[in-house]
A and B are shown apart, each in its own frame.
Chain A
Amino acid sequence: GAVVSQHPSRVICKSGTSVKIECRSLDFQATTMFWYRQFPKQSLMLMATSNEGSKATYEQGVEKDKFLINHASLTLSTLTVTSAHPEDSSFYICSARPISGPYNEQFFGPGTRLTVL
């Protein structure tokens, strides 16, 4: 149980293009989904928190117009990196918090490695 998928697992794109990453909770419904970024040998950095049907809450310093988040249902959230640049290259990881079950547990997807050329 508590499986989260992400697609794609790896993407390489040219500078200036947009990339969409999907995050799905496969066997549970999630009240809240989270998006993190992790640079090599660094710790997880929370980018934004999204709740189904409402606007995402972005952490300080994260550009909401650049990182568009849509939480369309209780099992799906998407992150779109708009006009990507090489400095956006990173490991993007989503997590989901189940509606029911132990309080505040988050389950992570396998991550998406983005490389912007």
Chain B
Amino acid sequence: QKEVEQNSGPLSVPEGAIASLNCTYSDRGSQSFFWYRQYSGKSPELIMSIYSNGDKEDGRFTAQLNKASQYVSLLIRDSQPSDSATYLCAVASNYGGSQGNLIFGKGTKLSVKP
């Protein structure tokens, strides 16, 4: 069973701080990694994708990937109350008939306090 693990939180940070969200995965052969943001009652929204080891920055978001440690993280700089949401880590399956399907973690709930 391929798994994606996230701390469910809630993770509470003050406005303006850096929020750090972490994710580990079990499938060593995975090549594609994603972070989705899901507001309460809404569907997930893709915010970052990363395919190579290292950092990828997009605005206030930085995704970090370490394939050797099977670890993906998302940093949100200058956190705003509007960033309060559940963040889902997703890893593309490298396994047989479900190759390419996304395996989602259960999500980390982030709360940014004004």
Q: Which of A32, A43, A106, A110 contacts B46 (CB 8 A)?
A: A106
A contact residues vs B (CB 8 Å cutoff): 2, 32, 34, 43-44, 46, 49, 57, 93, 97, 102-111
Q: Which residue of B lies closest to A103 (CB)?
A: B32
Contact with A along B92-114 (1 / 0, CB 8 A): 10000110111011110000000
List B residues at the A interface (Cβ < 8 Å).
31-32, 34, 36, 42-46, 49, 51, 88, 90, 92, 97-98, 100-102, 104-107
Minimum Cβ distance to chain A for residue B20 (Å): 21
Please report the number of residue pairs spanning A and B whose Cβ atoms sit closer than 8 angstroms.
52
Known contacts A103-B51, A103-B92, A104-B31; can you find 8 more A-B pairs with CB under 8 A?
A32-B100, A34-B102, A43-B104, A44-B104, A97-B100, A103-B100, A106-B102, A109-B43
Q: Are A57 and B97 in contact (CB under 8 A)?
A: yes
**Residues on B with beta carbons closer than 8 Å to the beta carbon of A43:** 88, 104-107
**Given the interface contacts A43-B107, A102-B51, A103-B92, does A34 sit within 8 Å of B101 by beta carbon?**
yes
